[in-house]
Amino acid sequence: MERPEAHSTGIKALKAVSRVIRSAGHKPQEIVNDYGEDLLVETRRRNRLDANRLWLQVKGTSKIKRHRKRDGLRLQIKFDHAMRWIRSVDLVVVVLWDVVERVGWYAIPSDQVDAFEVANSGTSSVTLKFSQNEEFTEEAVDLLAWKAYLEHQRLLVLSARDAERDKERAEGVKSPERTLTELDFTDLLNITERRLEPDGLRYQLRLEVWEEFKNLWNDLPEGMEETQRYEEIYAAARKTTANRWKMIEPRLDLPSALIDAGAEFICDRLELELGIRGKMEEAEAREARERQQAGWPEVDR
């Protein structure tokens, strides 16, 4: 029995997109029961599978002119699909693939769809925009893999910090889980390095990172008010972390929670040498007491 043209086009597009993913060094798996996503991509980092996943919906076409508008390409998707994709913990990407010219473009629903606006519009579909500059290539797959990884790590760090606060309130002790979660990331950024010692696994700050941070720290002007100086030191640690990330993938910004993860480890090293963290906490506590004594109003909640 001959397959309908739309079905045949869809299969061609799916196979073509899968080839691009495999060429980029990642592993695509076709979804048997299609609920709106066609491919599950297991991404790799340093020859290891990432803990996160990347989902792709592939739309094949042999008539790309139908999707071309003055300001780019357009694709209508169902409202229910759009809402599920933007609420997904994993990154979901839609690929529009031209089976004639053998080229495709990608769009990220969570970057375009406003859940509140769509829910109040009463519409049954959503329009996705595809930029001509965002072709679905091996380089694009790598970028999307990094984007999925960063969002996964950001959520892990935030969750570990919440768990640590809960444990500290309940038991009065800190949990090592947050530190281990953050160190997995700083190790990938080459901020820290692992060493297996007789008493277990140890992390230490890489020398080149320490030197970069010290150069920024030493450039701070003299005569600063104490609290401000400590804030500038932390800002230097954040900048060092961001700089290390830009050496890996300059096209993506590092989420603030992950920048803080690197900055805190750098400041931990400074704490060992100068006791800077204790001084920062003392200065912040002193500033809070001065505000209270001066009768400053509380911040609105």
148 is a domain residue = no
Residues 235 and 190 in one domain: yes
60 is a domain residue = yes
pLDDT of 167 higher than 90: no
**pLDDT at residue 8, rounded to an integer:** 87
Which among 141, 164, 192 is the end of a domain? Answer: 141
Residue 108 Cα distances to 88, 128, 148, 207, 232, angstroms? 12, 8, 11, 38, 36
How far, in Å, CA of 37 to CA of 223, rounded? 59
How far, in Å, CA of 234 to CA of 241, rounded? 11
Residues 15 and 112 in one domain: yes
Among candidate residues 122, 97, 126, the one with its CA nearest the CA of residue 110: 126
The tally of domains found in the chain comes to: 2
Residues 137 and 256 in one domain: no
Residues 194 and 136 in one domain: no
24 is a domain residue = yes
Among candidate residues 116, 40, 128, 115, the one with its CA nearest the CA of residue 83: 115
208 is a domain residue = yes
169 is a domain residue = no
- Tokens for 230, please give them: 């400590």
Which among 141, 168, 190 is the end of a domain? Answer: 141
273 is a domain residue = yes
pLDDT of 192 higher than 80: yes
Residues 137 and 182 in one domain: no
124 is a domain residue = yes
**pLDDT at residue 224, rounded to an integer:** 72
Residue 84, domain extent: 5-141
Which among 119, 141, 163 is the end of a domain? Answer: 141
Residues 180 and 134 in one domain: no
How far, in Å, CA of 233 to CA of 216, rounded? 8
Straight-line distance from the first to the last Cα atom of the chain, in angstroms, rounded to the nearest whole number: 66
pLDDT of 56 higher than 70: yes
Residue 89 has φ and ψ, to the nearest 5°, of: -70, -35
Residues 137 and 9 in one domain: yes
Residues 26 and 101 in one domain: yes
**pLDDT at residue 300, rounded to an integer:** 42
Comparing 110-114, 140-144, 217-221, which segment has the lowest mean pLDDT? 217-221
CATH of the domain at 73: 3.40.1350.10
Which tens digit of pLDDT belongs to each residue from 237-248?
A: 999 999 999 999
pTM value is 0.80
Residues 121 and 196 in one domain: no
Outline where DSSP puts E strands in the chain: 27-30, 39-45, 48-61, 68-69, 72-78, 91-98, 103-107, 125-130, 192-197, 200-205
User: Can you tell me which residue has the tokens 């104490």?
Assistant: 226
